[in-house]
Amino acid sequence: MYKYTCEGDISCGVNIVKDKENMTDLEKKHTPVINAPGKVNKGELFEVTVEVGKYMKHPNTMGHFIQWIELYSGNTFLGRAEFTPEFSDPKIKMVVMLKHGHPLIAVERCNLHGIWSSEPKSIKVV
């Protein structure tokens, strides 16, 4: 899922952090961060939060803002939240259920800097 990138063109493809130990300011502002338990019971609901701007605050103006965040379990779409500039903040809480241990992946879109993906969040389903 989302494995294609266009080197040097942040508006093409899906952007990912190149070096987690030495993130650029652009990466810090745009990378979605997933907070979820490491282990869940199969078929039971649990909470997941996704936040953009956790490492460095992302602008939230009419000209520069996060448009949406999507959450996936592997390639399975779990949900989407859309944002308006100035009146909302790019942080979501979803209650979801898993039947398989596919990693969670969050994807967001900045109106100026394109699409960005989180690191996969592994969850053990028992």
pLDDT tens per residue across span 48-74: 999 999 999 999 999 999 999 999 999
For 71-108, the pLDDT digits (tens) are 999 999 999 999 999 999 999 999 999 999 999 999 99
Residue 120: its pLDDT value, please? 96
Task: Assess contact for 17 and 55: CB atoms under 8 A.
Answer: no
Task: Label residue 96 exposed, middle or buried (CB < 10 Å: 0-12, 13-18, 19+).
Answer: middle
- Please give the share of the chain, as a percent, with pLDDT higher than 70: 91
Residue 12: its pLDDT value, please? 73
Residues 6+ positions from 46 with CB-CB distance below 8 Å: 36, 37, 40, 95, 96, 97
Helix (H) or strand (E) holding 25: helix 25-30
Q: What's the pTM value of the predicted model, to 2 decimals?
A: 0.90
Distances in Å between the Cα of 88 and the Cα atoms of 61, 66, 82, 85 are: 10, 9, 9, 6
For 13-30, the pLDDT digits (tens) are 789 999 999 999 999 999
Give the domains, in start order, of the chain with CATH numbers: 14-125 (2.60.40.730)
